[in-house]
Copies of this chain bind each other. A is one copy, B any other.
Amino acid sequence: MSVKEEVRKMKLDAPFLAASSIETRNKALELIGENLLAHADEIFAANEKDLAAAKENLISQAVMKRLKFNEGKLQDVVAGIKQLISLPDPLERTTLARELDEGLTLYRISCPIGVIGVIFEARPDALVQISTLCIKSGNCAILKGGKETTHTNRKLFALIHESVIAAGLPANCMMQAEQHSEIDELLECHDSVDLLIPRGSNQFVQYIMNNTKIPVMGHADGICHIYVDADADQEKALPIIVDAKTQYTAACNAVETLLVNRSIAKEFLPKLYAVLKENGVTLRGTQEVADIIAVEAIGEEEFIEYLDLIASVKLVDNVDEAINHINTHGSHHTDSIISENEETVCRFMQMVDSAGVYQNCSTRFADGFRYGFGAEVGISTSKIHARGPVGLEGLVTYKYKLFGNGHIVNDYATGKKSFHFKNL
């Protein structure tokens, strides 16, 4: 069957998943946890096949580490599922209840988005996290993981799918895509798919965004900034910058550009240079930065997302120049100010147009788990709908339900009746 046909069947099942009780959805999550534990050996055996193939294909150590699905990772995903079960139902929540007139009552009620396609990197734990988030939020999910995890994902998906059916949820509420070519088929399914969440390289996400009519949630690049203000506690700034740059260099929330207040540059830059050198980080900077510390001088247009142990440095006169630089050159992901001046911090936080604006801490905190969302399906730099790490709340929308008793608009248009708008 083609992806188009399968997705169309899924679309027909979506209202049944939307109407399923929280007991049934939690039961499915419970069965998934049990099923994964009961078949741990089969999962690990499948994972060994993927690891062996990866070794043969000379995959990098970093990717190998993400590929590996062992006892520890299994315990982590099962703990995540338990946490997800304990979270309140994100569906059927009333966010507005208003009597428009006698006997005419309006409710705004949360409901699933519908059919969501998630394309994610070669990480078996991601498949479990994403599918369970979708089940809890009542969304049908099309899952496409990295090709390096084919065997592990196939096994995990089969166990999850079995459990979902056993709990009584519709059989077509989830499907797996394995071939890269299926992504292009999926991009054509705007009649059936409500949202795409691509995770991966800038180039890949851009490709998805430019080749579909389906709404896309996610982020292409992550050029995160740290601004060290004139009123910064410099001793606080240094470990924060080291963490933001080195704790996980390849992450989208790692810092790429450091903005330093010109008034403290001569004092701060040498300390920054020393501590980053010690941590293996190479700095590059504008000419005036290169005049103070021994770094390569580059133009601002060369400030990029390095995803490596490199960072750009620029001096600014004040917080407004920092804000302007970030809004113009950043990617609206996560930006931090190091300052003890509350007024300056407030201005930075109000005016920087990013999903996350931080004071005196590392940009690496931008993450669904660290925000207490349990897990995330991705991080959104879009400003429409969900922003930042996207957990259950970002996976629901709402509908307006209006209950009347023969009410017609003409009575209100002609003045025979009038609205009284009483919030309940």
Contacts and interface: CB of A to CB of B under 8 A. Distances in A.
Contacts of A399: 354-357, 387-388
A213 to B, nearest CB: 7
A288 to B, nearest CB: 24
A410 interface: yes
A355 B323 CA distance: 38
A239 B350 contact: no
Contacts of A244: 408-409
Given A209-B213, A383-B194, A360 B405 contact: yes
A16 interface: yes
Contact of A372 (B100, B242, B327): B100
Interface in A349-397: 349-362, 364-366, 370-372, 382-385, 387-389, 397
A403 interface: yes
Give the interface SS of chain A, mostly helix, strand, loop or mixed.
mixed
Interface in A234-265: 236, 239-240, 242-244, 247-248
Interface centre among A11, A18, A239, A349 (most CB of B within 10 A): A349
B408 A360 contact: no
A419 B358 CA distance: 17
B400 A371 contact: yes
Contacts of A62: none
Contacts of A413: 247
A358 B402 contact: yes
A360 B406 contact: yes
A204 interface: no
Given A15-B327, A362-B404, 19 more contacts: A12-B327, A16-B351, A100-B365, A100-B372, A194-B383, A195-B384, A210-B213, A215-B384, A217-B384, A239-B406, A239-B408, A240-B406, A240-B407, A247-B409, A354-B399, A361-B403, A370-B409, A372-B419, A385-B385
